[in-house]
Homo-oligomer: A and B are copies of this chain.
Amino acid sequence: GFAHVDHHRAIRQGVPEVILGEGKTAAQIVAIAKELARTGQNVLVTRVDDAKAAVVVSEIEGMKHSPMARTCTLERSPIVPLSDTKVALVSAGTSDLPVAEECAETMRMLGVTFDRIFDVGVAGLHRLLHKRPLLEEAGVIIVIAGMEGALSSVVGGLVDVPVIAVPTSVGYGAAFHGLAAMLGMLTSCASGITVVNIDNGFGAAFAAVRILRARARAARSTP
């Protein structure tokens, strides 16, 4: 067939395959989702537009669509909390919402607890500085920003926890569909910031999961 589901992934990475909706037909998404659901796994579809989501929701019972996040989700088994460490999900502006919500939905499905700190771009720095306590409590920070992406440098300089930066395609002209933010985040003067693909809220959530799972496992193995 056209798809060869990586059932082994849940064992290897603790997370079943996540379906990238973009570039697939609705029928293909349905088929793969059913194959995953068949074995009792939860299903997450990302980057799925409204038209495809309507088909997916109507074909699979229990499937839910979150239009802002552009995801479909099916909860076949209860979501187990991964860790009690909280992630701070920080975004620069209202236009970054779809990426932030894709990230939020992914974290929710993978058992991550998080706080939203939205619309705190550096053009009005006091908004971010007021949230400093929340930032300092977080175990991981995800920073989502478009245009020049400066927010990740400022956050990275304020805290010492892991910072995962997500450039977004918000902006126009010299933003070149997220290139400006992406280059800016990669060359950040704050040290040790890491970056995922443009608009990849899913990837940032998954990177946080990697950090939290390893931490939880380490904690368990310590007497």
Chain A contact residues, CB within 8 Å of chain B: 1-6, 8-9, 12-15, 17-18, 20, 22-24, 28, 32, 47, 85, 92-97, 118-127, 139-140, 146-150, 153-154, 156-164, 167, 169-200, 202-211, 213-215, 218-219, 222
- Interface contact B182-A123, CB-CB below 8 Å: no
- Interface contact A94-B3, CB-CB below 8 Å: yes
Nearest CB in chain B to that of A23: its residue = B95
Nearest CB in chain B to that of A96: its residue = B23
A220 vs B159: C-alpha distance when bound (angstroms) = 18
Q: Which residues of B contact A207 (CB under 8 A)?
A: 162, 192-194
Contact sample, A vs B, 11 pairs, CB 8 Å cutoff: A2-B94, A2-B119, A4-B127, A6-B127, A12-B159, A125-B157, A148-B185, A161-B210, A167-B173, A211-B214, A214-B215
Kindly list the 6 A-B residue pairs having the minimum CB-CB distance in the complex, ordered from nearest. A173-B198, A192-B206, A23-B95, A194-B194, A150-B150, A6-B124
Task: Name the contact of A198 in the complex, choosing from B156, B169, B174, B200 (C-beta under 8 A).
Answer: B174
Copy number in the complex reads 8
How many Å from the CB of A223 to the closest CB on chain B?
Answer: 12
- Interface contact A187-B148, CB-CB below 8 Å: yes
Task: Name the contact of A219 in the complex, choosing from B3, B167, B219 (C-beta under 8 A).
Answer: B219
A12 vs B156: C-alpha distance when bound (angstroms) = 11
Q: Which residues of B contact A126 (CB under 8 A)?
A: 8
Task: Name the contact of A94 in the complex, choosing from B24, B124, B193 (C-beta under 8 A).
Answer: B24
Task: Name the contact of A183 in the complex, choosing from B163, B175, B203 (C-beta under 8 A).
Answer: B175
A183 vs B28: C-alpha distance when bound (angstroms) = 28
Given contacts A148-B183, A188-B148, whether A4 and B118 have CB atoms under 8 Å apart is: yes
